Amino acid sequence: ILNVEQSPQSLHVQEGDSTNFTCSFPSSNFYALHWYRWETAKSPEALFVMTLNGDEKKKGRISATLNTKEGYSYLYIKGSQPEDSATYLCALRGSQGNLIFGKGTKLSVKP
């Protein structure tokens, strides 16, 4: 059974701080890694789909890197804002297109 782990489980930062969290996954038979941003009572919002070892993707103040050989991805947020408060989910794509999710990192940014 494929297992995706995320750390930390939760994170509290001050506005303006930069932060990062980790997603770990089995490195064999890799297809793709998805990052989602999920605010309470809303739908998970797709941030990145990463497929190649060494991939780096950026969307505004949020960026992500991928290492498929060692089985991890980092998500970085530069200069955190209160509106960045959300749960950040990573998900490994299975061979049939299904997503295998981690438990998420819940980020709280205090003004």
Partner 1 sequence: EPEVTQTPSHQVTQMGQEVILRCVPISNHLYFYWYRQILGQKVEFLVSFYNNEISEKSEIFDDQFSVERPDGSNFTLKIRSTKLEDSAMYFCASSAEKVVNQPQHFGDGTRLSIL
Binding residues vs partner 1 (CB under 8 A):
4, 31-32, 34, 36, 41-46, 49, 51, 89, 91, 93-94, 96-103
- Minimum distance between the CB of residue 51 and partner 1, rounded to whole angstroms? 5
Q: 16: phi > 0 → left, psi -120 to 50 → alpha, else beta; which?
A: left
C-beta closer to partner 1: residue 26 or 79: 26
Neighbouring C-alpha atoms within 13 Å toward the C-beta of 35? 27
Name the nearest CA neighbour of 1 among 31, 34, 33, 26: 26
C-beta closer to partner 1: residue 6 or 80: 6
C-beta closer to partner 1: residue 75 or 91: 91
